[in-house]
Structures are given as structure tokens and as C-alpha cells.
């Protein structure tokens, strides 16, 4: 139901692999990152082969995924990573927008079958799948690739080849609007899917934030609490402002954790 995810799948920019253990996962991460450096990949979905195993609920599935991440050397402990600890993997690549070496952060998030069971204490359909798996993305990098795609379509060139600030502003404004609309569609689709209003994702009235019964992009949680997160009209605009300064005012090429900075707990 993720509009951005559908787009990346359609463009062939998703790396999908079946993994059995941490060693498999580590190997596939390196393959994925090789594609990121070439700007040919933006997301990595690891489907865990758990044949022969059964789980009583979503919590047991999350523990299995946490153990896999520990085995892959990406977290200090399986217990910590399923209790709200964020896993951030930094990668320096040539920015699709500025063309300069830039560090982007990629975040793995756990998906499981139990999250789609309304009777499960961890019911959260926006984090459910017909398998247990791990989805790794960088919203900032994916947005940068969209900006590059839009620039090639509009101007027939890459963003770092633009010499007119007005043209760059027009490109960025168009891209932020496109990314915002994709996010609105995604959140609206997941909202309709939830059988429990208190576990549904939804937009704020001004559409500048979205709320979810989890903190994005932590790997997993064993307690569901509503968190508020920034929408693209905030974080994507921040990215574009930074890129504009970098391209035309000799600013610093930095993206930080824009788009996945974490949510704010809502009382």
C-alpha cells in the first residue's frame, strides 16, 4: 500500500532476497548497497525463510527478527532492538541531486504476520506482511532519486547540471508536491485498512504530520503508542533548501535524518 514503495518496485529499484540467518542478511545488504552507490537501488526487502517454525504471536516473530539482526552484527542485543531501538546504517554515496559525496542513513524495520491479527496485542496493519521480513530504506535517498528522475523528465539533465536557480526551485517545488501526495495516498490507504481506529495511521488536519501507533523508523516495539511524524512538506522541503544552498551558495551537503528523524510521543 506504500505509493513510494510501489513506484520503486515498478522502476526495478528494489532489492528483494530470501534470507535464513544473519550471515545471509549481511551479504544481501552489501549487494543492496552496491546498487545504492550506482543509484540503481533504493530499497531492500528481506523475506525470512522460517519454514518449520511457528510463532504464537507478533512478539515472538519480532524476537526472531531481532535475533537475526543481532546475528548480522547490526544491533547490540535482540531484546533492545525489539523494544524501540533504532538501527541506522550510514552509507556515503554520490548524492543524486548535488552530485557530491553525501552520507545517507538507511533504516531496517521489521514486518510480521501477527501485526495483521486484530486480536494480537501488537496489532498494527501498517507493519504487517504475509511473511516475516525486514524492509530497509532511506526516505531521504529515495526522495533524492525522485528529484533526479523529475529533473531528467523536465529538463533532460541531472539536477547537479542545472545552472539556473529558478529552474532548480521549480524542480524542487514540483518534487515536494509529488512526494507529499504519494505520502498522503499511502497514509490514507493504511488508514482504511485498520480494523481499530486507535491502531490506524492518519494525517493531521493540516497534513504537515502523520500519526501512527508506532515510532518510525525504530526496528520494532513491544508496546504500541501513538507518535507524530513529519510529512514531506516539512522534511522534503528541508532537504530541498539544503540542496539549493549546496548547489548555488556553496553550502554543506548534509541530509542528516530528514524524513526518518523519529516521532514525537502523543499523549
Q: 213-224, pLDDT tens digit by residue?
A: 999 999 999 999
Q: Verify that 48 and 93 share a domain, yes or no.
A: yes
Of 77, 112, 138, the one marking the end of a domain is 138
Q: Verify that 152 and 132 share a domain, yes or no.
A: no
Q: From residue 171, give the alpha-carbon distance in Å to each of 96, 174, 227.
A: 14, 5, 31
Q: Verify that 26 and 49 share a domain, yes or no.
A: yes
Q: Verify that 133 and 163 share a domain, yes or no.
A: no
Q: Verify that 130 and 236 share a domain, yes or no.
A: no
Of 138, 159, 181, the one marking the end of a domain is 138
Q: Verify that 134 and 40 share a domain, yes or no.
A: yes
Q: Verify that 125 and 149 share a domain, yes or no.
A: no
Q: Please count the structural domains in the chain.
A: 2
Residue 252 has pLDDT above 90, yes or no: no
pTM: 0.96
Q: Verify that 57 and 111 share a domain, yes or no.
A: yes
pLDDT tens digits along 43-101: 999 999 999 899 999 999 999 999 999 999 999 999 999 999 999 999 999 999 999 99
- Domain of residue 60 covers 3-138
- According to the model, what pLDDT value does residue 254 have? 84
- According to the model, what pLDDT value does residue 171 have? 98
Of 120, 138, 156, the one marking the end of a domain is 138
Amino acid at each position: 500500500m506504500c505509493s513510494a514503495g510501489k513506484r520503486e518496485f515498478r522502476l526495478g529499484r528494489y532489492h528483494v532476497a530470501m534470507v535464513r540467518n544473519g550471515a545471509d542478511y549481511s551479504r544481501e545488504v552489501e549487494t543492496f548497497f552496491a546498487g545504492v552507490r550506482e543509484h540503481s537501488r533504493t530499497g531492500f526487502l528481506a523475506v525470512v525463510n522460517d519454514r518449520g517454525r511457528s510463532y504464537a504471536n507478533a512478539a515472538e516473530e519480532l524476537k526472531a527478527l531481532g535475533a537475526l539482526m543481532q546475528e548480522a552484527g547490526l544491533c547490540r542485543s535482540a531484546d533492545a532492538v525489539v523494544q524501540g531501538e533504532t538501527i541506522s546504517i550510514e552509507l556515503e554515496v554520490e548524492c543524486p541531486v548535488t552530485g557530491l559525496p553525501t552520507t545517507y542513513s538507511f533504516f531496517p524495520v521489521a514486518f510480521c504476520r501477527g501485526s495483521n491479527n486484530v486480536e494480537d496485542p501488537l496489532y498494527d496493519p501498517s507493519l504487517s506482511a504475509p511473511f516475516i521480513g525486514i524492509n530497509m530504506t532511506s526516505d531521504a535517498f529515495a526522495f533524492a532519486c525522485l528529484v533526479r528522475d523529475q529533473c531528467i523528465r523536465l529538463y533532460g539533465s541531472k539536477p547537479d547540471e542545472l545552472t539556473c536557480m529558478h529552474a532548480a526551485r521549480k524542480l524542487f517545488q514540483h518534487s515536494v508536491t509529488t512526494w507529499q501526495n504519494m505520502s498522503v495516498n499511502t497514509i490514507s490507504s493504511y488508514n482504511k485498512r485498520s480494523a481499530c481506529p486507535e491502531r490506524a495511521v492518519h494525517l493531521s488536519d493540516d497534513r504537515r504530520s502523520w500519526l501512527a501507533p508506532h515510532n518510525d523508523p525504530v526496528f520494532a516495539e513491544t508496546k504500541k503508542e501513538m507518535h507524530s511524524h513529519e510529512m514531506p512538506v516539512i522534511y522534503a522541503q528541508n532537504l530541498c533548501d539544503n540542496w539549493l544552498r549546496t548547489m548555488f551558495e556553496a553550502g554543506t551537503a548534509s541530509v542528516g535524518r530528514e524524513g526518518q528523524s523519529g516521532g514525537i510521543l502523543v499523549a
